[in-house]
Structure 1
C-alpha cells in the first residue's frame, strides 16, 4: 500500500513536503490542512480541551493517533498507548516523543490487546466512520468494550448527517435513512492515490442506538460551531 496520507504527514514533519495532500472525489478536490489538523498543539486549557480531558483516565488508548498530538499531552499524566495503521505515522509519533506507539489496525483491538487493558480511549479524527455500517459500528464498540475496563470512558467523533451543513462535505453521499449518510474520497499525494475510503456518517441519535448491547452508553455530545456538522461524543460503560 502506497499510503499517500502517511507519507504526506511524515514529509511535512521532516520539512520535505513539496506538494499538497489532496482529498479527491471525482473532479472535486480540496487540500487537506496537515499543519492545523495534526501538528497544532493540543490546548488542554481551552473549553474543548477541558471537556475532552475530563473523559480521560488511565491507561489511555489513542486510536488513529495521527501525529500524536493528544498522546503527547496525556502521557505526562497517564499511561498512554497510541496506535495507527500507518507505519509512516507510527514512526512520526515515536520521533515526536510518544513513548508507546504501535502499528495496530483499529479494527483488530481484540487481537492486539488483553481484556480490560485500558481505562479510556480516544478515537478522534472521524475514523469511526470506517466501521462502514450500523452493524460494523456495533462490532467495533464491542471490541472497544473488550479492551477497556468496567468503568471506562471513550470519546469518538463524526459528522451529523441531520445537520444542514453536512452536504458541504467533500464526498458526501446522502441516504434516505434518517441520521445516516456516506462519505467517499481518496487521498492523493505526489501522484500516488490511496485506496477508496468509504465512511458511514452517524448522527448522535444513531450512535446512541448503536451502543445498545455493546456495554457503552452515550453520555454527552459536544457540537462544533453552528456552521459545521462535526461533533464529539463521550461514551461511558453501563453501570
Structure 2
C-alpha cells in the first residue's frame, strides 16, 4: 500500500495502546471489523509441517508485526519485510532483529542473488500479484533471491472451493481456477486505495511455475484439512 495507510496505522495504534476506532474491511455495502488482536498479536508456537519446509536464511514476506519472525529468528537467520513503515517500526519494537521496509514484488531491488534458503508468506498477499503473469514474475524474482536448493511456503485462497464466495470482496470469474477479491480499509477518517487480489487455485499456481525454477510438490489445506485457504509448497527443480 502506498500513500494513505490506515491498515498499518491502526495496527501500530493497537500495539501502543492508542487505537481509537476499529479497522474496517469494506466492499460496497459489506463492512467487517478487522480482527487485529487475533490476526497479528497471538503468539506463534510452531508447526512441524511448516518447519519441515523452511531453513535459514529465511525471508518472511509480508511479515505483519513479526509473530512468525520472532519464532524463526531463534532458530536461524530471518529477514522480515513489510511495505508499511508503521509495521516495520512495530516489528522492531517487538524484538524482530532484522525487520526491513521492502516490496515483495520488487525483491531484486532489495536483495542479492541466492540470498535466502527459504521464504514464507503468511496471509494471502500473493494474490496482489494481480494476474498469472504477475504471479509468474514474482516467482521468477523469488527464484533470483533464493539459492539452488530453496523452498518456499506461500498462502492462497482457492476460488474453486465452495466456500470461496464467503470471502469479503469475492468477485467470480468465468475462467476456471481464477477469481478476484476487491476491498479497502478504513480507520478513523483514513481510507485506503482499493486492494485488488487475484485468487489462484492450486492448479493455477502449478501452471504459473511453468518456465520458472519452481515446482509445487505439496498443497496443504486449512487447519481442518478443508476450506478455501491453502498453503502451497514450492521447491527448486
C-alpha RMSD of the superposition: 0.9
1:13-56, Cα deviation, whole Å (9 max, x unpaired) = 11111211110001111111111111111121xxxx11111111
- Counterpart contact for 1:115–1:148, Cα < 8 Å: yes
1:186-222, Cα deviation, whole Å (9 max, x unpaired) = 0111121111100000011100000111101102111
Distance 1:227 1:4 in 2: 32
Of residues 25, 29, 32, the one that matches 2:31 is 29
- Secondary structure of residue in 2 paired with 1:113: coil
- Secondary structure of residue in 2 paired with 1:234: strand
Aligned residue-pair number? 234
Query: Which structure 2 residue ranges, 5 or more long, are not aligned?
Result: none
- How far is the alpha carbon of 1:228 from its aligned partner? 2.9
Distance 1:219 1:95 in 2: 37
Is 1:188–2:182 an aligned residue pair? Answer: no
Query: Which structure 1 residue ranges, 5 or more long, are not aligned?
Result: none
Distance 1:43 1:167 in 2: 31
- Secondary structure of residue in 2 paired with 1:35: helix
Which stretch of structure 1 is more off in the superposition, 181-190 or 11-20? Answer: 11-20
Scaled by the length of structure 1, the TM-score of the pair is 0.96
Equivalence for 1:104: 102
Matched ranges for 1:135-154 at <5 A:
135-154=133-152
Is 1:202–2:200 an aligned residue pair? Answer: yes
List structure 1 runs of 4+ shifted beyond 2 angstroms. 225-228
Is 1:91–2:85 an aligned residue pair? Answer: no
- How far is the alpha carbon of 1:226 from its aligned partner? 6.0
- Counterpart contact for 1:183–1:200, Cα < 8 Å: yes
Scaled by the length of structure 2, the TM-score of the pair is 0.97
Distance 2:49 2:14 in 1: 29
